[in-house]
Chains A and B, each alone.
Chain A
């Protein structure tokens, strides 16, 4: 009924019939036909994960987009038609993975960065010091210093990270234990943090605790005292960019024995997190939970709150800051997910560029910007996005998809099926084994390291040798092809001004 999206083309001249491709394909698209002595592909099952092509020793495999042409129509795109067909067939909600795939304008790509010339020298990042260390946590409004220069103000616990790039939350269950471990190892090596996600923390990761933000989501999976004590910080997840207003969703296929134990639910049930925390129906309830967690950990750990970027993010953020949170993570509408209803993933929420700019401005207008750190996430794709996010008002950014791609993910967007051929988004042992945590963590570390160097390169070009001077420095950004109203909300001028 549905024309296959991709077709697997095997060059018979090159093919040695080693059958490595059939073993590697976890989507069961490839098999070896005895009688015809060749590899055959069931194109309907191919998702273009590219595992077979990368493993073929002869480079004999090409994955092509299927050339069946729908009669073109701008309104009834092939995608719209296929979605309708699927729903007609099943009567169900379409579930999708990864992030928003609609063609909304990407504001990051319309923002350009200033550079210094003549009147202000650029600084050479290779040879001169450029500092990017960042403190996440609550800072006091002002400090009291005694006559002998000693500090008289008590400061809330802060975490110092060596780079403003943090690995965001993705749960054990959404990804394999090997992948989770790889992220933790990379975070430790890079001197930054990693988010545990809402699936709890496997004991194997406790040793990385100083570099982990443990998440308390609405399902409270895996939340117990040890869990809370082990992390460097605790994050209350109110929402995520990919699915504002909806809780996490781990399909039953992925709930193996280990997951069941960590999350404390029966094997192979769907792990669904409720939409709201059922003890937070209003802002004062959030404050209550924040302080409950602080009491539990003797006020030694910062408590973060993560929200999805929605229309009134600025007001919500202000409320969260006053409720006692030490940092706020704002997840834009392009954020990724293992599984979400497609309609929510694609149509709910607002872009992170707008959200960060308006939250930062609101907090500054209210004089409370120092009370919280702001972390921006939701499809931060490159170091350029990092620079722009910080100039728009973020203290740091959180990335997940780039870290997964670094580990080998090819963004085939089939995460929710639990058969990731790369061993990342799966809990099947035979598949998870394909990912070597040491190798994978080195790649994630390389990525963070390379982006940090690029960040320094740009800071140098801006004539800054400390990242504090980029934070909410809208003056160094300009917009190209952005309408006046959006420019105002972003707080930046048009290029040429």
Chain B
């Protein structure tokens, strides 16, 4: 199934996609000439739908997504997986700012880098558990206000600073794993450094295997030594307030 997005507004493209995806039980669609089209995959429900985007989608890809898979062959824009609930997003390129804002479930795999505020306010509850895996590095405010879920930063290019400043500022749940060494200077308020335990290492290995399956990356990332970043407490700001 193929759609040519050239000349289509995002509204027209998304309507077409929704129509197709809702009709069939299992479906694979290739969309060509994607260039800046926003909101693709928004509210997508069909868990068996697979959409492949060729080009550069615009903002809010997979926003409120609720099932299905989206593969992007190019860079993405801001807001990938905004308030995503379930489903899979795989990006063969970079993503920009605010990936997975308020993400509540589902998985996002990014081959390249992510921008600012990735994973901001991710949440988890019982079996609802979101994950983000970044192949390159992340900028400032990674995992800000994080309340649950997992973020993994692989730093495949072995850059000096795999994450930026104010990482995990305000974190009160969830965990971040960064391949390589992180210092206190990278951290924001309420975050602390630790070592992954056995359960966490298993989870990491599973996610990394899945990451490799999508990107057919053969090289073994030498030394899979991860630094764990997690909350100091679940009420990091309790002491700041006094009642009238």
Contacts of B166 in A (CB 8 A): 127-129
Q: Is the CB of A453 within 8 A of B240?
A: yes
Task: Indicate if the CB atoms of A126 and B237 lie closer than 8 Å.
Answer: yes
What 1/0 mask marks residues of chain A from 125 to 146 whose CB sits below 8 Å from any chain B CB?
0111100000000000000000
Report how far A127 CA is from B189 CA in the complex, Å.
Answer: 6
Q: B62: shortest Cβ distance to chain A, in Å?
A: 23
Whole-angstrom distance between the Cβ of B188 and the nearest chain A Cβ: 6
Task: Count chain A residues whose beta carbon lies closer than 8 angstroms to a beta carbon of B.
Answer: 7
B121-156 CB mask vs A (1 if < 8 Å, else 0) is 000000000000000000001001100000000000
Complex CA distance for A233 and B74, rounded to whole angstroms? 59
Q: In the complex the two chains form, is A127's CB within 8 Å of B170's CB?
A: yes
Question: Which A residues lie within 8 Å of B188 (CB)?
Answer: 127
| Dominant secondary structure of chain A at its interface with chain B | loop
Residues on B with beta carbons closer than 8 Å to the beta carbon of A127: 144-145, 166, 169-170, 188-189
A126 in complex: contacting residue of B141, B189, B242, CB < 8 Å: B189
Query: B interface, by DSSP: helix, strand, loop or mixed?
Result: loop
Contacts of B170 in A (CB 8 A): 124, 126-127
B139: min CB distance to chain A, Å: 14
Report whether A128 and B141 are in contact in the complex, using a CB–CB cutoff of 8 Å.
yes
Residues in A with CB closer than 8 Å to B141 are 128
Residues of B within 8 A of A128 (CB): 141, 144, 166, 169
Shortest Cβ gap from B144 to chain A (Å): 6
A126, B144: Cβ atoms closer than 8 Å: no
Residues in A neighbouring B240, C-beta threshold 8 A: 126, 453
For the complex, what is the distance from the CA of A124 to the CA of B189, rounded to whole Å?
A: 12
How far, in whole Å, are A445 and B50 apart by their CA atoms in the complex?
60
Q: How far is the CB of A240 from chain B (nearest CB, A)?
A: 32
Measured CB to CB, the nearest residue on chain A to B144 is: A127
Q: How far is the CA of A124 from the CA of B166 in the complex (A)?
A: 13
Query: Which residues of chain B (182-207) have a CB below 8 Å from chain A?
Result: 188-189
Closest to B165 in A: A129
- A450 partner residues in chain B, CB cutoff 8 A: 242
Set of chain A residues within 8 Å of B144, measured between Cβ atoms: 127-128
B residues in contact with A124, CB < 8 Å: 170
CB neighbours (8 Å) of B169 from chain A are: 127-128
A124 to B, closest residue via Cβ: B170
A453 to B242, CA, bound (A): 13
**Interface readout for A443-484 with B: 1 if CB under 8 Å, 0 if not?**
000000010010000000000000000000000000000000
Query: B236 — nearest CB in chain A belongs to which residue?
Result: A126
CA distance A128 to B188 in the complex (A): 8
19 A-B pairs in the complex with CB atoms less than 8 angstroms apart: A124-B170, A126-B170, A126-B189, A126-B237, A126-B240, A127-B144, A127-B145, A127-B166, A127-B169, A127-B170, A127-B188, A127-B189, A128-B141, A128-B144, A128-B166, A128-B169, A129-B166, A450-B242, A453-B240
- In the A-B complex, the 4 residue pairs with the closest CB atoms: A127-B170, A127-B169, A126-B237, A127-B144
Contacts A126-B237, A127-B169, A453-B240 given; 16 further ones with Cβ under 8 A?
A: A124-B170, A126-B170, A126-B189, A126-B240, A127-B144, A127-B145, A127-B166, A127-B170, A127-B188, A127-B189, A128-B141, A128-B144, A128-B166, A128-B169, A129-B166, A450-B242
